[in-house]
Structure 1
Amino acid sequence: MIRQGSAGVSASVLAQFVLLAVTWGASFLFIKIGLEGLSPTQVVLARLVFGAAALLAITLFTRQALPREAIVWGHLTVVAILLCVAPFLLFAWAEQHISSGLASIYNATTPLMTMLVALAALPAERPTPARLTGLVAGFGGVLVVLAPWRGLGDSGVLAQAYCLVATACYGLAFVYLRRFISPRGLSAVPLATVQVSIGAVLMMLAAPFIATQPMHLTARVTLSMLALGVLGTGMAYVWNTAVVAGWGATNASTVTYLTPLIGVALGVVLLDERVSWNQPVGAVIVVLGIVISQNRLLPTVRSRELV
């Protein structure tokens, strides 16, 4: 009985891990399709509004209480800007000039950016040889993806730089969360609901000034925005929380290794995007840098050393 129950839980977590990887990997595809009929600001507005609606529904259904302290809402406003509004806008703008697959590759640098910010901002984060080696390798991979030997004068290079600024925003947001929110021990889903909802409100307030371009809403564009908001910005938080609870934060973070693979594959298959040799090679180096920085190489050797 216990084994069956454990197997059932493990299968459920695995299913949610796969859904999470596919959804986050596909998010860049949804952005690209959304840009066929919407401006970048309209894509972000739709994403946050649909995401907030999904998370509010989940929070009400599960009867979880939202945080009440004003200081928490203040901190989550900062997080909403760094984790939602700013990077979403940067990625949406960038995908006007680069492929969805390339954007997904740059998104994989988020753990490296987070580590870099943590080393600078958190005294407890020590620059161990593994972390430094991983950072150097990871950003070496970024250079391979960027391909500076092809020249740095077109809008595609600027778009790639915007992607890196976006992942730097993610890094700042995660460290800010760790510093000011995590010690409070609040539930993940209500926190996600508040931060995405604040982001949606900020975008709605700004919309009359920055999202007034004509829209061309086709079924393809509308469904992509619904998927991006409800799944990629809503349900993904729930799946991620379940995977962390079932497998632990370290194992759950391996979803980062899969999202660029899925993003590139979907771009090639569904949008007929071209992939240069340097992009997958650079992506592999980036992932290798993450693996090194997290001390995941040669686990058998480390286990023997501890015996």
Structure 2
Amino acid sequence: MTPQKTMSGAAWAQLVLLALIWGGSFLSTRIALDEIGVFTVVMHRCFWAMVLLWIVVLATGQSVPRAPRIWGAFLIQGVLNNVLPFFFLAWGQLHIESGLTAILNSFTSVFGVVVAAIVFADEKLTARKAAGVAFGVAGVSVAMGLDSLRQLDIRSVAQLSVLAATFCYACGGSFGRAKLSGLSPMVASAGMLTGSTLVMIPVALATEGVPELMLAPRTWAAIGYYSLIATAAAYILYYSILAKAGSGNLMLVTLLLVPVAILLGHLVLGEQLMPRHFAGFAIIASGLVVLDGRLVRRLRRSGA
């Protein structure tokens, strides 16, 4: 397992910036959905982010992989880490609040721990991790509500859709570690987005037709934000933080982005979340703190 790193001031600044960027992605996606379909939303996100990242790769002189095996891995990774989760999140946002989507999205780290424990020998599910997972499951159950767990309506299906996205992200993270860890992060991201674009173009054309270019300015602004900033630029920032602070510290971003998404949803879309949503998020956050482990170790040392 990767040891925890100390967070520098620069790393904290980048982490907060990434949380602000990703927190805004939920609002921009919801705005775009007012005018274009879910598949077209995902296609735009993958395509424009791919273009920008390949420009960065070529401008920085990085080599482009040629092995068919790597491009096959790009395709699988694109489906796991882009196509499926982007679709599940966007479809879910048609029926639930963007703030609630962000809360449920924070379950990604919990699924990540479970999937990694299954796939990798060095990521065993310890008692502490199992407790963190249990907190996460309890938090999601509270946020969704007992009614959603007892009966399936469109809101409960939408919430399950968001949770499906978090599972896909977890699988994508483990697949990327296993198959693409030898590549530079920028090349891996550009290749992954190429694979997802190759999937999404025919899917969007077959289901929603040729994309409309005469869109409202706010729709194009939303597309530009969630594709160029919240996807391409965010990947660049993500890997910069990962190198500086490690994966354990980077997990904090899933918590920090939630208040941003909730506030933007309230101010711009007039969304109102229920007390149980906030309570569920607090429990999920507690689970992530337990998974992180540092606070638990400090408490043990202080009590020793």
TM-score (norm 1): 0.90
> What is the root-mean-square deviation in Å for CA atoms of aligned residues?
2.1
1:177 Cα deviation from its structure 2 partner: 1.4
Mapping of residues 46-195 of structure 1, within 5 Å: 46-149=44-147, 152-182=151-181, 184=182, 186-195=183-192
Aligned-pair CA distance for 1:88:
0.6
Task: Give the Cα–Cα distance (whole angstroms) in 1 for the partners of residues 299 and 146 of structure 2.
Answer: 38
**Shift in Å at residue 10 of structure 1?**
5.1
Q: How much has 1:207 moved relative to structure 2?
A: 2.5
Distance 2:8 2:119 in 1: 36
Aligned to 1:280: 278
Amino acid at match of 1:171: A
Counterpart amino acid of residue 274 in structure 2 = S
Q: Which residue of 2 aligns with 1:4?
A: none
Change (3 A) 1:120 1:247: closer
The answer to whether the 8 Å contact 2:140/2:284 transfers is yes
Larger mean CA deviation between 88-97 and 200-209 belongs to 200-209
Give the C-alpha shift of residue 62 in structure 1: 1.7
SS in structure 2 opposite 1:248? helix
Q: Which residue in 2 is equivalent to 1:3?
A: none
Q: What corresponds to 2:4 in structure 1?
A: none
Given that 1:130 and 1:295 are in contact with CA atoms closer than 8 Å, whether structure 2 keeps it comes out as yes
Shift of 1:54: 1.4
CA distance in 1, matches of 2:15, 2:8: 10
Assess, with a 3 A threshold, how the Cα gap between structure 1 residues 213 and 69 changes in structure 2: closer, same or farther. Answer: closer
Amino acid across the alignment from 1:251:
N
2:215 paired residue among 192, 217, 231: 217
How far the C-alpha of 1:99 sits from its partner, in A, is: 0.8
Indicate the residue corresponding to 1:29 in structure 2. Answer: 27
Q: Within 2, Cα distance between the matches of 1:65 and 1:86?
A: 28
How many residues are treated as equivalent by the alignment? Answer: 296
Partner Cα separation in structure 1 for residue 174 and residue 244 of structure 2? 23
1:65-114 Cα shifts (integer Å, max 9, x gaps): 22222211111211100000011111111111011111111111001111
**Distance in 2, Cα, partners of 1:229 & 1:82:** 17
Q: Which amino acid aligns with 1:220?
A: R
The letter for the 1-side match of 2:106 is A
Aligned equivalents of 2:157 and 2:220: distance in 1? 28
Relative to the length of structure 2, the TM-score reads 0.91
Q: CA deviation at 1:171?
A: 0.9
Secondary structure at 1:275 match in 2: coil
- Give the distance between the partners of 2:53 and 2:238, measured in 1 at CA: 13
Paired letter, 1:189 = M
Secondary structure of 1:293's counterpart equals: helix
2:197 to 200, 203, 214: 200
AA partner of residue 199 (structure 1): S
* C-alpha separation in 1, matches of 2:96 and 2:237: 29
Q: Is the 8 A contact 2:75 2:194 kept in 1?
A: no
Q: Secondary structure of 2:165's partner?
A: helix
Q: Distance in 2 between matches of 1:213 and 1:36?
A: 17
Deviation at 1:211, TM superposition (A): 2.3
Q: Could you say what secondary structure the match of 1:297 adopts?
A: helix
2:292 to 289, 294, 299: 294
Conserved 8 A contact 1:67-1:191: no
Output one character per residue of 1:164-221: Cα deviation in whole Å (capped at 9) or x when no partner: 1111111111111122222x2x210110011012211211122220222885711111
What 5-or-longer segments of structure 2 have no aligned partner?
1-6
Between the aligned partners of 1:56 and 1:50, the Cα distance in structure 2 is 10
